[in-house]
Amino acid sequence: MTSDPSEPAPAPVDAPVGATLRRWTGWPLWAAIATTAAAVLLMAETRVDAPASLPPIEPASSLAPLPMPSLPVALPTAAASRDMEIEAPPPESMQLCGGDWVRTLPDGSLDEAAMVALPSVRDGMTRIVTRLRSSPDALGKATALLLDLVATASMGAQPARDDTAKCEAACLQARIEDERRERANRMEPLVRLAIETQDPKVYALAYRMCPQPIEAGACRLLSAEQWARIDADNAVPWLYLAGQSSERGDHAARDEALFRIGAAEGYRTYWLVATARMIDEAAHEDALLVPAQVLAPGLVGIEVAGASPNLALLTRACRDVTLDSDPNRWQLCSAAAERLAERSDTTIDRMVGIGMARRLGWSDERTDRLLGEVVDSRRAESVYGRAADPRIGRDCVAARRFLTDLASRGHLGEMAALRASLGASAASPSDYPRIGRLERERREASRRAEAASTPAVRSAAASAPVEAASEPATRTAEASASIDSVR
């Protein structure tokens, strides 16, 4: 995350937001000495009081030249001159919020390693973690537990890397199991805090951070059932239960979960709540803004990497249901799809709900309206996806703006935060059906083009099996790009 190197240099104090690259040249020593001597002469002039009566003014030619006053002028010593010089930053550098300067790399990006190594940044990161650890609220303590891992990694401690190229399938599986157990052990303090406080946000964090399926360590003390009990009006824990019951083949439990999803008043994933809590702790002190920027990407990564409900199983359970064939289950699936498509606080869950609704036979007008809202909201730039962007400014204004925007994702939820970011540029709800229809038609045309190319792809695969081997990965990448354009 760095500043745009194309900004003019040097910038004045009230320059536009963004870090400024500057080339500095020091004043020559002789200029400093001459300036100092002139200043001393001016200050040393004596005051002459006017006489009672002034004599006639004589022509200039008759006036004798005035002798120069003999004033004791002490020139500054070399040490004093050095003290008087303005300390110049490195020739290619960027000033951080707080006053420190960090050199930039040849491509104009900030030297992140040099920035993290600054004592002020390291001290700020430690202060943020310490404050959160001693905070009275459970979420603050939970955030500190997650930041303990992030701060260690950000300060340069890197885990040892093994040579996986020499590890066979059985070896890799064993390593995966070892990593799962290690991760479960690291989560124990957070799990204990969740059980002790029964705070819905902390419980959700701990449940999602634990490796799934939960098989070892303190994580076994957590369950989606208990999360649903302490967060009764939230549909999200029931999404986990719906997926788990589908995996077990327990259709009765799955239908109960579908009913609970459709009946829940809220839909709260608690996405980025820890990141928002960390930013809140640092937001009122300029010295902590850059340290918070350093900690943010790691904390966002931990939260995003948490376990998600198996929505694929949920959609599969409702795929072939029609109102005529099974009206009861159709009603359950339709209510669940409505919660995802209309009340979810994340774009991906909304897209899953819209897909379910289409398969359940909802009208194009209704699903186009829902799709249009998602497409329009995604016009807002997603800040958490730019957390490592080297062009992000590190001056106080830019840092505060970045952190405020990122924290809004945790406070409001992704969908509400995206709409708030758009502000007056957001489309009118009356435009959603048109926006959604255009997107639906685009996607349908893309699918038709892909289907038309399938025979040619198969023919090429028969004649060139090596090249065809990469086709599944290509299809996956194309599908992901198509989905990303809508999310």
Considering the chain, what is the average pLDDT of its residues?
75
The DSSP string of 207-267 is HHHS-SS--SGGGGG--HHHHHHHTTTBSHHHHHHHHHHHHHT-HHHHHHHHHHHHH-SB-
CA count, 13 A, side-chain hemisphere, 388: 7
The DSSP string of 289-313 is HHHHHHHHHHHHHHHHTS----HHH
Judge contact between 395 and 17, C-beta under 8 A. Answer: yes
- Identify the residue whose tokens are 């050095």: 82
Cα 24 to Cα 87: distance, rounded to the nearest angstrom: 10
Judge contact between 406 and 342, C-beta under 8 A. Answer: no
Q: Highest mean pLDDT range out of 49-63, 294-308, 433-447, 457-471?
A: 433-447
CB atoms within 10 A of CB 183: 15
Tokens describing residue 182: 């290690």
Judge contact between 374 and 418, C-beta under 8 A. Answer: no
**Average pLDDT in the 404-417 region?**
92
Judge contact between 111 and 90, C-beta under 8 A. Answer: no
Residue predicted with more confidence, 6 or 210: 210
Predicted local confidence at residue 258, as pLDDT: 93
Cα 227 to Cα 461: distance, rounded to the nearest angstrom: 49
Helix (H, G, I), strand (E, B) or coil at 107: coil
Judge contact between 316 and 325, C-beta under 8 A. Answer: no
Judge contact between 328 and 308, C-beta under 8 A. Answer: no
CA trace torsion 392, 394, 396, 400 (10° rounding): 40
Provide the whole-model pTM.
Answer: 0.69
For the ranges 25-34, 160-169, 196-205, the lowest mean pLDDT is seen at: 25-34
**Which of 219, 406, 455, 444 lies closest to 296, judged by CA?**
406
Tokens describing residue 436: 């959604």
What strands lie across the sheet with 21-22, from one edge to the other?
A: 21-22, 93-95, 101-103
Cα 422 to Cα 487: distance, rounded to the nearest angstrom: 15
Predicted local confidence at residue 352, as pLDDT: 94
Strand 93-95 relative to strand 101-103: parallel, antiparallel, unpaired? antiparallel
Judge contact between 222 and 307, C-beta under 8 A. Answer: no
CA count, 13 A, side-chain hemisphere, 459: 5
For the ranges 56-60, 395-399, 448-452, the lowest mean pLDDT is seen at: 56-60
Query: Is residue 42 predicted with pLDDT exceeding 80?
Result: no
Residues 241-267 pLDDT 10s: 999 999 899 999 999 999 999 999 999
- At how many degrees (to 10) do helices 396-412 and 289-304 cross? 30
Question: Percent of the chain beyond pLDDT 90?
Answer: 41
Query: Is residue 136 predicted with pLDDT exceeding 80?
Result: yes
**Average pLDDT in the 344-356 region?**
93
Q: Which residues contact 376 (CB under 8 A, 6 or more apart)?
A: 422, 426, 427, 431, 432, 435
For the ranges 22-26, 81-85, 337-341, the lowest mean pLDDT is seen at: 22-26
314: left (phi over 0), alpha (psi -120 to 50) or beta: alpha
Q: Is the peptide bond before 119 cis (omega within 30 degrees of 0)?
A: no
Predicted local confidence at residue 125, as pLDDT: 92
CB atoms within 10 A of CB 487: 15
